[in-house]
A and B are shown apart, each in its own frame.
Chain A
């Protein structure tokens, strides 16, 4: 682990996107809900880069447009209307979303703008049916405190979430997007690049996330909060890493990225020492299909059966560098492969640094070396796909290799679930924005602001004192529940049900955390389902012991019905009559005469009965009945 980040010139800025749990989407009355079923209607579109963007647009998107890339949008009637389909102008800006985001912004000491102007930010990868994302600044120049340090907030914006990618068709010629997510309100909070270590970044993210949750309107679950990280090193590059979905991953992603950049800088220095120049790499793609006609390599075999070809390119002086590790299990070769997949739509690449492997023999490689005239100092990259895809892939590979000589290329990367990151697209130029003329500007009146200021949520430090006092829980537990996603729900449950607050708090923090570690999809369990469980507990429909099982059942089933869960888990509570019957049966079976039924037998009877009814009967009731029988 690196400890002295200042020597590296490390600077980090955070951008947090949080979905808001509003009644409707940002620009229409559709509910902000996802759907899992087959779409009721799909349609095909193309997005045409508008002219002044040429040269500035996402080059991959333009490239794809020229090749006839199409987008298939999937919709259903509960989640989508003509607005998301770009078949009707947007309705006015959702006031509830404005109110929530202004609340959060004010809590971050940001200054609301006088008049909100909605902008169109051009995005032509297909994730927005219009070809742009609607976004607006709602407040600027705020700050939060992390310990003694003040972290500046550049701006808070409100924007529509994008459609979500669901797949590809026709060899990548059609990309599928689902429109349910499009239009869900997102608040975006951006800090200044004044964070100097991965740990600090994680702390700041925690504070910002806490403020957003304090509004009581933050959506919960995987994908509802997404952190983008902007990171730069003095000798490295400015890298934007998008979509870190878990708070705990922020420091991991940053550590790995720093490592990646340091390793890339090292490689660049070594390559330069060898006197390699970018123009020593040429885009001379050689068809080598005949070397592999009898190969045992399954991947290549499969391609050749589809009448595809194998193309190769020589990377002069690169032998040994492609296997250099940049991050755990991620090599320079992986970087090349990422580019090839992105620009060439291929499944992956082969390179000589990993050979022999995949049933490709040393002899094959020797023939290959001859054919592309490579020496032992050179690496060879080869691809099996359609000639068009294979050449695009190798083209991208050579471009990336050239960048390796120069240093670290600026790019946008995507965080993966294990804390690593992969190439996403080139860094976009300056944001291309123009006004959304379909919606008039929204005036933020003093009255509106005063109303928001008068109703600000309780700040965290006050809330924790109240949580301890009102619920008689310890400080550790109160802190845990406050920092969790479930604080609002916790207060709702204990206020409306006769349940022990400690039981609820422990379950919502420690138990859920443990279940998550056991790969239970805890984010699938809704507030409503959790409320049902504790209501059931207070109404004695279930016992404390059964909570976990019911929760797990809810995570796997869509039903909201507690009785269904209990029945399905065979956890339905015994009625008093049934319990009495069971107790009498056990007594009859185990106790020979009245004399034996004494205080000494209580423990034994209790043990036998509890093993039969655990989770389906209240132990205190059972002990009461046994005592009655003993005393009879």
Chain B
């Protein structure tokens, strides 16, 4: 790596730093007009302007100094290199369940280097134990880094890779799998794993954090502890997400992978079950199943791995004034499946009918889910719905659009036969359809019962 990308400094400022014989981490003296600053030269964000340097004062504060022709920089000392010794792996208790933690990127656990301000992720098992020592009381943990990418960069290829790695670990006899994942696309991955890992003998629990793990208030450690506990001991064997249920640090909600959605940009309790209730809950360390309707943990079962996903599936949202040419564009691009996010009970305007017909004639599977998120589509109530049904649009019941999209990607990864694909799309594979719509809470604002 070049100095530029290392330090964030570029152009003239970088030249001035170099000419003074300084580098990031050195203690420097800056003289400028009537001012003198002393501190450690620290890296600058690459998105910041090109005229300032940043130093850390002895008292810990950072500040930016504008570099002018009159500014003098002098190196006056060597910075202390941050040193960190990884604590030794604590003694593993052989009576505890074995859980593997797979990381996909981001940081479920990290520590801060106050001398440089850098946040470093803790990824190895011993690192994790160091940051969250309570882990050694609930499981024998092993870790693996599968990828190191932000969750918005995850694609179908990553889902396949992840499903294969999970299958291998399960075959090696772990009692549960935890996947650490960024929250933005976590629910898509949860759905993808739900379809690609069938007949699971043990749980696969996805976990993340809404507050970064460097801060003392992070939800990461509690979510991770909950996920590991569920993976190691819970009586069910399904793909689920384990995250905060409310604003307090006392309840973890476990939600089924095909029925959970990120519903808030920043709150800890962002993941809400859609058209269902949570599968289980951990209150003050105690797990309670909230339904009898789940697939049981059974180590004798053998996972059925179906890791392929089609890349030729799109999600199209209908809105007032929607231009049907968007659908034409997809047809011309050779897509094999389209999920239409319709309005209300499952509608799009009549002026879209022609293009939708063309899509279906071109052997494209067209499914319809509702942009309402909550509730079930019913295309028999109004004419528009009936017309769409007649064309061959598949109503997707109470499956919300994102799960519908992932399911169609997976379906078209399994078969090229259009009739077979339609049949699979309508079949309940991992609990994505429920037959009954129960009056579950949509989103309980201020749900903060905290003294259970």
Interface of A toward B, CB cutoff 8 Å: 41-53, 70, 82, 85-89, 111, 113-117, 119-122, 124, 129-132, 135-137, 140-141, 155, 157, 430-435, 440-441, 443
Contacts and interface: CB of A to CB of B under 8 A. Distances in A.
A459 B111 CA distance: 48
Given A47-B217, A52-B114, A432 B267 contact: no
Interface in B117-131: 117-119, 122, 130-131
A434 B52 contact: no
B439 interface: no
B214 A117 contact: no
Listed residue (A47, A114, A124, A431) with the most chain B CB atoms within 10 angstroms of its CB: A114
Given A42-B448, A87-B267, A88-B266, A115 B52 contact: yes
Contacts of B446: 41
A117 B39 CA distance: 14
B216 A50 contact: yes
B248 interface: yes
Interface string B214-231: 111110011000000000
A588 B119 CA distance: 91
A87 B64 contact: no
Given A87-B267, A431-B59, A44 B249 contact: yes
A64 B45 CA distance: 37
Nearest to A111: B35
Given A44-B250, A50-B216, A86-B211, A113 B114 contact: no
A233 B231 CA distance: 58
Contacts of B218: 48
B35 A132 contact: no
A431 B60 contact: yes
Given A115-B65, A432-B114, A434-B112, 4 more contacts: A47-B217, A89-B266, A114-B63, A115-B52
A114 B64 contact: yes
B418 to A, nearest CB: 46
Contact of A136 (B61, B211, B217, B221): B61
Contacts of B211: 86, 130
Interface residues of B, number: 51
20 contacts: A42-B450, A43-B248, A46-B249, A48-B221, A52-B113, A82-B267, A87-B268, A114-B63, A115-B66, A117-B63, A119-B60, A121-B60, A122-B216, A131-B215, A131-B216, A135-B61, A141-B35, A433-B60, A434-B113, A440-B47
A87 B221 CA distance: 16
A87 B248 CA distance: 11
A135 to B, nearest CB: 8
B194 interface: no
Interface in B312-331: none
A404 B320 CA distance: 78
A357 B66 CA distance: 68
B313 to A, nearest CB: 33
When A and B form their complex, which 9 residue pairs have the shortest distance between CB atoms, in order from nearest? Answer: A131-B216, A115-B64, A433-B60, A117-B62, A114-B66, A44-B248, A431-B60, A51-B111, A43-B247
Interface of B: 34-37, 45, 47-49, 52, 54, 57, 59-66, 84, 110-114, 117-119, 122, 130-131, 211, 214-218, 221-222, 246-250, 265-268, 446, 448, 450
A70 B35 contact: no
Contact of A430 (B60, B84, B110, B249): B60
Contacts, number: 137
A157 to B, nearest CB: 7
Given A51-B122, A119-B60, A434 B214 contact: yes
B402 to A, nearest CB: 23
Listed residue (A87, A89, A135) with the most chain B CB atoms within 10 angstroms of its CB: A87
Nearest to A129: B217
Contact of B217 (A45, A135, A157): A45
A132 B62 contact: no
Contacts of A48: 216, 218, 221
Listed residue (A46, A116, A155, A433) with the most chain B CB atoms within 10 angstroms of its CB: A433
Contacts of A431: 59-60
B64 A441 contact: yes
Listed residue (B62, B113, B122) with the most chain A CB atoms within 10 angstroms of its CB: B62
B84 A52 contact: yes
A587 B28 CA distance: 91
Contacts of B47: 440
Contacts of A132: 215-216
Contacts of B214: 50, 434
B34 A157 contact: no
Contacts of A155: 59, 61
A43 B114 contact: no
A135 B266 CA distance: 22
A88 B265 CA distance: 8
Listed residue (A121, A131, A434) with the most chain B CB atoms within 10 angstroms of its CB: A434
B448 A41 contact: yes
Given A43-B247, A82-B266, A86-B211, A119 B61 contact: yes
Nearest to B116: A434
Contacts of A430: 60, 114
Nearest to A154: B59
Contacts of B37: 140
Nearest to A45: B249
B216 A117 contact: no
B248 A432 contact: no
Contacts of A43: 246-248, 448, 450
A47 B61 contact: no
Contact of A70 (B113, B122, B216, B249): B249
Nearest to A47: B216
Contacts of A121: 60
B131 A51 contact: yes
Contacts of A116: 63-64
A432 B117 contact: no
A129 B216 CA distance: 9
B54 A117 contact: yes
B266 A124 contact: no
B66 A52 contact: no
Listed residue (B47, B218, B222) with the most chain A CB atoms within 10 angstroms of its CB: B218
B58 to A, nearest CB: 9
A114 B65 contact: yes
Contacts of B49: 443
Nearest to B269: A87
B111 A137 contact: no
Contacts of B246: 43
A48 B214 CA distance: 10
B112 A52 contact: yes
A136 B57 CA distance: 12
Contact of A113 (B64, B217, B265): B64
A53 B112 CA distance: 8
B119 A434 contact: yes
A115 B450 contact: no
Contacts of B62: 117, 119, 433, 435
A82 B268 CA distance: 11
Contacts of B122: 51
Nearest to A54: B130
B134 to A, nearest CB: 10
Nearest to B56: A433
B121 to A, nearest CB: 12
B114 A433 contact: yes
Nearest to B62: A117
Contacts of A119: 60-62
